[in-house]
Amino acid sequence: MIAIIVIMAIVIIALSWMLAARIRNERNITRQLKELRNEDTNSLVHSDGMSRGLIIEINELLKDKRSSYVEFKKKNHDIEQMITNISHDLRTPLTSAMGYIGLINNPDLAEEERIRSISIVEKRLNRLEELINSFFEFSGIISSGNVSDTSEMNIIGVLEESVVNYFDDYTARGREIRINQNASSIKVVSNRNMLMRIFDNLINNALKHGSGTLTIDVVKGEDVVLKFSNYLSEQNIDTDKIFDEFYTTDISRTKGNTGLGLAIAKQFTNMLGGNISAEFDGETFAIIISFPCIK
């Protein structure tokens, strides 16, 4: 009987010690969590060895929370920058138009100057409409997030159609577009309108900001790779940001760029299952896109 009492006493003492240790451990964990919540730190929760599985899960949640917070801060910064760019881009043609409207209302203005001012106002308002349409278009692209109406097509044929659409624009500037290809027909499964828009944006971007011949190299391998390259005198090019929404250099703003052409091209390329990247060696600027092709 005494032995049983002794054993029970030992068990009770052991359980009491374990309970006290667990309470201390939980209080320690609670204290650490409060400190981590109130401090900007990358520290994790530590314990004396008890509740190891719980500690691991808590630390994983802390890592996920911090990662999400960093991503949130980046997105928030991008949104603030986007709003700044939108405000700048919309204000520029609007302010100019309002200035010329003031001139038009001047009764002493010569008729020839009045007609010229009206023409400028019309161009500025057309520019404003173009910007607004681009913003709404990009917003629609982001919100939809899916591709419909895909079919098998010859990507060379779609590319040639886009090139023809810009033939006169390039000729008027004494420039040309040259296509180099290692196959006359390359089949892909894609959305024709989206693919056409990608090519249009890349060709139009080269028209606005490049010079000399726009060379388009098309190579068929495991994927079909298309490289759009031309001479570029602008040195302030960040290829890591070139596809960001509303990213523009000072020179591109003066040339009437919305900063959305390449962002739309990237979004469409990704939605169609392709990849897109940019290269710049100080003279030649190139955009490379690739799509899976049908074997």
* Rounded-to-integer distance, Cα 268 and Cα 145, Å: 9
Looking up tokens 């404003």 gives 128
Helix (H, G, I), strand (E, B) or coil at 287: strand
Least confident stretch, 52-66, 98-112, 202-216: 52-66
pLDDT digits over 1-28, tens only? 677 776 776 767 766 666 666 666 676 6
Neighbours of 93 (CB within 10 A): 20
Please report, as a single letter, which amino acid is at residue 32: Q
pLDDT digits over 16-69, tens only? 666 666 666 676 667 767 766 766 666 776 666 556 666 777 777 777 777 777
Please report, as a single letter, which amino acid is at residue 177: I
Neighbours of 180 (CB within 10 A): 10
DSSP 100: H
